[in-house]
């Protein structure tokens, strides 16, 4: 595989080394009391002491979670070729949830696919096959290039309003909405996963800076840090 060096899931135990992929803000997570667990090769903040308290925070104000462990694959190519690769129903500014992944159109010739780290290999192989069959298309894994933070809860729109000019009113940015925007004065993309849950994606070199800006804005509005387990429960509740 030509671009294997971009894929964190290709790390392996070798010569006594046991590599673990880590978020750029892991130190801040640890200092905030995160319980870290290695999941699918990533060190993940599973919780911050009490999942129930985290769920309550998400219901009453807002929860902020680190989700950079999500896999991100970028497809490029002519719009008609990409249309054959991606599921039907994707339209400009709107993502689609299909096959356990989010399909997010950056613009007509670029598509970002987000999936759980556990599903990376399967998704990547599928997309590589699709790309190989279609001239003019290509795939690059950008998992570690994009950091990802989730903001969820009734105060999430207010928190984002402190950092971004994105119009998050449901009429303007409904569920599944996906938009390239500026967040805390840097280029980013925002996905409205559902209700008041937003996934913010941006260049991972800014992770420390954005985490500081986001948690600072969130704290002032009553937000709490939440772990992956609480997020999972919320997603399950949404699915139910």
Partner 1 sequence: MTRPRLERLQRTEPAPARLGPQPGERIDRATELTFTFDGKLVRAHPGDTIASALFAAGRRTFSRSFKYHRPRGLLCCAGQCPNCLVQVGDAAGVRACTEPVREGMEVHHLNATPSLDLDVMRATDLAGGPFTPPGFYYKTFIRPRKAWPLYEKVLRSVAGLGRIGAPKPHRESRTDYRRRHADVLVVGGGPAGLVSAARAAELGADVVLVDEGVEPGGHLLAEGRHELACALAQRARDAGVDLLAPAAALGNFDGIVPVWAGDTLHQIRARRQVAATGAIEQPLIFAGNDLPGVMLSGGARRLAALYALRPGEVAVVATCDDRGLEAALALREAGVRVAAVADLRPAGAGTAALSRGDGSSGGHADALRAVGVELLHETTVVKAEGRSSVRAAVLASVDPSGRERPGTRRLVECDLLVVSGGEVPAGSLLLQAGARAVYDPDTGRFNAGELPEGVHAAGAVAGARDGVEPELSGSAAGADAAHALGLGDERSRGQANEERARLARSTAPEAAPAPAVVGEGEGKCFVCLCEDVTAKDIAYSVGEGFDSIELAKRYTTVTMGPCQGRMCQLASIRLMARSTGLSLDQVGTTTARPPWSSVPMGVLAGRPFEPAKRSSIHARHRALGATVMWAGDWRRAYDYGDPEGEVLAVHERAGLIDVSTLGKMILQGPEAGAFLDRLYPNRHANLKVGRIRYGVLGSDSGRIMDDGTICRLAQDAFYVTTTSSGAEAVEGWFQWWQTEWRMDVRITDVTPALAAVNLAGPRAREIMAALTDLDCSNEAFAYLDGKRAHVAGVPALLLRIGFVGELGYEIHFPAAFGEHVWDAVMEAGAPDGLRPFGLEPQRVLRLQKMHILVGQDTDSESNPFDAAMPWIVKLDKEDDFIGRWALEQAQGREPVGKLVGFTMNDGASPNEGAAIVVDEGPAGRVTSSRFSRKLGRAIGMAWVPPSLARDGAAIEIADEGRRLRAEVTTTPFYDPDQERLRS
Residues that bind partner 1 (CB under 8 A): 2-8, 10-15, 17-24, 27, 42, 68, 74, 76-77, 135-138, 140-146, 158, 161-162, 164-167, 169, 171-172, 184-186, 203-209, 213, 216-217, 220
- Closer residue to partner 1, CB minimum distance, 150 or 164: 164
- Closer residue to partner 1, CB minimum distance, 150 or 204: 204
- The CB-of-165 to partner 1 minimum distance in angstroms stands at 5
Measured between alpha carbons, how far is 179 from 107 in angstroms, rounded to an integer? 10
- The CB-of-164 to partner 1 minimum distance in angstroms stands at 7
- The CB-of-11 to partner 1 minimum distance in angstroms stands at 5
For residue 164, is it left (φ>0), alpha (ψ between -120 and 50) or beta?
beta
- The CB-of-211 to partner 1 minimum distance in angstroms stands at 11
- Closer residue to partner 1, CB minimum distance, 55 or 82: 82
Measured between alpha carbons, how far is 28 from 32 in angstroms, rounded to an integer? 6
Beta strands, E only, the chain:
35-39, 42-47, 62-66, 71-76, 96-98, 101-107, 110-115, 138-141, 146-152, 178-183, 186-194, 197-203, 223-225
């Amino acid at each position: 595989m030509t671009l294997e060096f971009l894929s964190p899931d290709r790390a392996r135990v070798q010569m006594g080394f046991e590599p673990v992929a880590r978020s750029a803000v892991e130190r801040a997570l640890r200092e905030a009391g995160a319980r870290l667990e290695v999941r699918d090769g990533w060190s993940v903040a599973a919780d911050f002491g009490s999942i129930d308290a985290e769920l309550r925070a998400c219901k009453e104000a807002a929860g902020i979670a680190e989700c950079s462990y999500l896999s991100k694959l970028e497809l490029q190519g002519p719009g008609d070729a990409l249309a054959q690769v991606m599921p039907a129903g994707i339209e400009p500014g709107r993502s689609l949830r299909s096959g356990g992944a989010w399909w997010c159109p950056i613009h007509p010739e670029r598509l970002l696919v987000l999936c759980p780290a556990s599903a990376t290999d399967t998704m990547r192989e599928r997309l590589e096959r699709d790309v190989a069959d279609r001239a003019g298309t290509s795939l690059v894994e950008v998992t570690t290039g994009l950091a990802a933070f989730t903001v969820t809860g009734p105060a999430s729109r207010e928190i984002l309003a402190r950092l971004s000019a994105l119009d998050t009113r449901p009429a303007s940015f409904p569920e599944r909405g996906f938009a390239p925007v500026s967040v805390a004065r840097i280029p980013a993309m925002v996905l409205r996963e559902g209700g008041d849950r937003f996934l913010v994606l941006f260049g991972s070199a800014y992770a420390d800076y954005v985490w500081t800006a986001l948690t600072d804005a969130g704290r002032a509005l009553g937000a709490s840090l939440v772990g992956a387990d609480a997020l999972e429960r919320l997603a399950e509740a949404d699915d139910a």
